[in-house]
């Protein structure tokens, strides 16, 4: 009789034969930086997560370095917004200031990434500029993305996270970076980014002003093949890393992208995934730490080699304690 249970008999045996292994360097911490506040501001729908200030950001970088994670992804929360997201390309805008502060604090010890999207900076909350009829103008938005890319690269971002889901965004940004002498700046393409209900707490975190939805440019949650096609297109356009977002509800898409990708594959464990586990644990319905580790390992098992998670520091500490 075959007895697979022989390899499950003890913790040591299970550790020896474990198929999926996770390392702190594979984790990335999303970090929100808010303009105009003297102290970090807690985010109500994301217990334990805050909007940092420029003053508190260096300590957050130092904590990330100490935990041994791979990098941080910066998001800006500006005080003022307008129709074209002027603050996204202003060298003194909150996100570009945050990049400079984080890069100086990091001094090359972790990778500094920046979200390249207009939604945090527009007064209508969409990821691009709008036509007179209120539709997102894909090609006009690409021009804004190119300007935003140069501002972020000049500020010191090493990886630009193209999260807007505009057609042709990777090629447009790559051309702009190369023409400006930023050929070493990497592009992380949010290739399969779905229009998801699980983004709700994130919109609290960035104080989104969105009116309506993003279903004309983010993907339909019923589609898998389309997600693979989007990843293929981004690879052809020169993406250095491709991403699937959200993670847990799209592990099938993640596995499909990982099977065909010639570059590292990332997945974003989004705010709603975080909030659900925290809320269930707070009510005593699940074991918090066990659920966190199971969820992160499931993303790694599906094929992600880089995982964006709000638990990055905790998970990294647990992994180091168990080695």
Cα gap 238→319, rounded to integer Å? 33
> Can you name the residues that pair with 75 across neighbouring β-strands?
32
Cα dist from 174 to 133, 237, 259, 281, whole Å = 30, 8, 24, 43
Q: Which residues lie closer than 8 Å to 124 by C-beta, 6 or more apart?
A: 83, 130, 209, 210, 211
Catalytic residue numbers read 193, 245
> What tokens were used for 12?
């040591």
Residue 9 burial by CB count (10 A; 0-12/13-18/19+): exposed, middle or buried? exposed
> What tokens were used for 124?
């209508």
Cα gap 284→160, rounded to integer Å? 39
Quick check: 50 and 41 in contact, CB under 8 A? yes
> Tokens 């997201």, residue?
85
């Amino acid at each position: 009789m075959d007895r697979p249970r022989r390899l499950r008999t003890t913790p040591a045996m299970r550790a020896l034969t474990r198929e999926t292994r996770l390392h702190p360097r594979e984790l990335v911490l999303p970090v929100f930086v808010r303009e105009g506040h003297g102290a970090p501001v807690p985010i109500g729908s994301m217990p334990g997560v805050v909007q940092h200030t420029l003053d508190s950001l260096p300590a957050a970088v130092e904590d990330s370095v100490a935990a041994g994670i791979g990098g941080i992804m910066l998001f800006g929360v500006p005080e003022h917004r307008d129709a074209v997201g002027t603050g996204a390309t202003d060298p003194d805008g909150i996100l570009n200031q945050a990049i400079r502060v984080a890069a100086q604090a990091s001094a090359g010890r972790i990778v500094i990434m920046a979200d390249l999207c207009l939604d945090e900076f527009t007064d209508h909350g969409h990821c691009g500029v709008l036509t007179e009829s209120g539709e997102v103008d894909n090609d006009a938005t690409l021009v804004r993305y190119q300007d935003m890319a140069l501002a972020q690269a000049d500020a010191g971002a090493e990886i630009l996270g193209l999260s807007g889901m505009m057609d042709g965004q990777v090629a447009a940004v790559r051309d702009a970076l190369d023409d400006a002498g930023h050929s070493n700046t990497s592009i992380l393409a949010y290739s399969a980014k779905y229009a998801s209900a699980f983004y709700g707490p994130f919109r609290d975190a960035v104080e989104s002003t969105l009116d309506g939805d993003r279903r004309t440019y983010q993907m339909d949650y019923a589609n898998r093949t389309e997600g693979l096609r989007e990843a293929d297109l981004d690879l052809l356009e020169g993406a250095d890393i491709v991403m699937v977002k959200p993670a847990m509800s799209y592990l099938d898409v993640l596995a499909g992208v990982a099977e065909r990708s010639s570059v590292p594959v990332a997945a974003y464990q989004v705010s709603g995934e975080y909030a659900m586990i925290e809320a269930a644990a707070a009510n005593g319905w699940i074991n918090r730490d066990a659920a966190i580790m199971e969820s992160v390992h499931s993303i790694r098992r599906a094929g992600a080699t880089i995982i964006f998670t709000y638990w990055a520091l905790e998970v990294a500490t647990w992994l180091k304690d168990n080695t």
